[in-house]
Amino acid sequence: MAQAAARTRRTAEDRRKQLIGIGLSMLTARPIHQVTIDEVAAEAGISRSLLFHYFPTKQDYYVEVVRAASRRLLRSAAPDDSPRAIVEGYVAFIERRRTQYVGLFRASGLDDWVREIHDETQDALTVRIMSAMTLTNPSEPVALAVRAWWAFAEELAIEWTGRGRTDRDALVDILLGALDNVIFLADEVRTDRPILPPGE
C-alpha cells in the first residue's frame, strides 16, 4: 500500500490536497479511530511528522476531510432551487457515495466536531430547502421540524439505497410528501400556548 513516491518536495497546498484525498478514501472504509496517522503517512509516502506539520492534530486532519465531504454533498444537493431538485440531488449523492457518507458522518468514532460539521451541513440544507419552499420566517416548531425531517431523509435514503432499491423517484415522493406534512403539523403549534392533547 505504502507507495514511497520518490520523496519529492511539494508545495504546501499540494500536500494538503493529497492528504485530504487520501483521507477521503481511507476514512471511507474504516472509522477514524481505526486509522492511524502512520498509515495515512505511509500511504502518502511521507513521515508522520510532516502530517503533523500540516494538521496540528489528528482531529484537525479528520475535520478537514469531513469538511471536504460535506462540501461535495452540498454541491450535489443544489442543482437549482426547486425542493424536488434539492432532494433528488441529496438522494443521488447518497446513492453514489453511500459507504463514504456513512463512514464519515455516522459509523465512525468522532467527537463533537464531526457531529458539528454534520449539523452544519444539515442546517445549510434546511435553510436551502426552506427558501426553496418560500418559507420565510418560520416559527420555531416549523424550523425544528424541517431540521428533523432531514434526519428522516438521511436515514431513509441510506436504508433505501442500502437495500439495493433503484426506485429513486418513489423515495423522493415519500420524502417530499412527508416534508409537506411535517411543516403543516408543526405550523399548527402555537408557540406561546401549547396545544392541549386531544382526549383520544
Torsional sign, CA 19, 25, 28, 31? negative
Residue 140 binding target from a copy of itself, DNA, none, CB below 5 to 8 Å by type: a copy of itself
Q: Does 50 bind a copy of itself (CB under 8 A)?
A: no
Largest CA distance in the chain: 75
Task: Kindly state the smallest distance separating residue 127's Cβ from a copy of itself, in Å.
Answer: 15
Q: Does 172 bind a copy of itself (CB under 8 A)?
A: yes
Q: Does 7 bind DNA (CB under 7 A)?
A: yes
Closest CA to 133 of 112, 117, 149, 109: 149
# chain residues binding a copy of itself, by CB under 8 A: 50
Q: Does 93 bind a copy of itself (CB under 8 A)?
A: no
Closest CA to 89 of 135, 45, 125, 52: 125
Where do contacts with DNA occur on this chain (CB under 7 A)?
Answer: 7-12, 15, 35-38, 45-50, 52-53, 56-59
